[in-house]
Amino acid sequence: MPTPEPERSGSNVPSIPGPSTPLTNSYTYHCPTPTAPGPYILGVDEAGRGPVLGPLVYGVAYCPASYQADLEELGFADSKTLTAEKRSLLLSILGSDPKNLGWSVRVISPQAISSGMLRVPPTNLNRQSQDATILLIREVIQRGIQLSEVGVYVDALGTTTTYEAYLSSVFPGINFTVTTKADSKFKIVGAASVAAKVTRDACLEGWIFEESKGNKVVNSSSTWTTEFGSGYPSDPKTQAWLKNSIDPTFGFPSVVRFSWTTVKVILEREGHGAKWIDEGQESLMKAFVTPTGRDKDRCVVTKDLSMQSVAYL
């Protein structure tokens, strides 16, 4: 009989997958659309760029420009400077005034991060971050929120002036401010920071291992825990989790970002070696190779193309 799935932590966080639902694909969550007239200001921030475990979450928060004085009094700030309890309270506050306050998150799964960074050519993390930011802003606009000619504040990604110009080219007529520590400078970015951080933390705290679902168990010991630590490669708790969770044949569960150097080193050191044999390619090579160099030993293709060796390819 399969082991019952654990209840997901953070069940009061509406932006995470449902109970017993593994996070296998990237997704977007939008709160109900505010109804107060615009124009609106909007902030963008993220949580989880550096960790080797779990999703990268981009968040946006928005409110009417006329609501800024009220926003200043709500206590939003850089989420890293707040306790978990304070962040949870602020997320509740963000949802307590649906007429004026709105927020959305884009959850980029670890699988999507890895597959993007490992494909050829790679889609690096900056590009994936840009795509998430643009998707969120575009969908907020499509939901009827007027951002035209008001402030959109974005935490820095790369060179600030270059990123500002890029976003302005994608959304003509919208005034973008890209700056470092935007979550400390602008309350609306602090609100986005809280939405992103609470969502990411809740995803990790209640992580459902898809590899252990039902009879689909690929880890021989099935002893994965959610005691991940912070998820950063330098965290001793994260290092211990990685050390104890590797399967020499199958590697790690999908909570791990396989594109991180930390993981590549562990797999190289601890994993079983593998040799890839492409039988189709091997047959093709045999068709073109001429063992003796004599014309009568060459196949029809090599004769027709006047090929003397594989080097011709």
Q: Which residues line the annotated binding site? A: 45-46, 155
Residue with tokens 């959850």: 107
Rounded-to-integer distance, Cα 36 and Cα 64, Å = 7
Which two three-digit tokens encode residue 25? 């694909």
Rounded-to-integer distance, Cα 50 and Cα 125, Å = 10
Is the N-terminal amide bond of 121 cis, ω within 30° of 0?
Answer: yes
| Cβ 35 vs Cβ 220: under 8 Å | no
What is the gyration radius of the CA atoms in the chain, in angstroms? 25
Query: Which run of H or E residues covers position 113?
Result: helix 110-118
Q: What is the DSSP letter of 277?
A: -
SS3 state at 255: coil
Side-chain-facing half-sphere of 301: CA atoms under 13 Å: 11
Nearest to 31 by CA among 59, 9, 72: 59
Nearest to 156 by CA among 116, 117, 184, 187: 184
Rounded-to-integer distance, Cα 281 and Cα 273, Å = 21
Binding residues for a divalent metal cation: 45-46, 155
Q: What is the DSSP letter of 294?
A: -
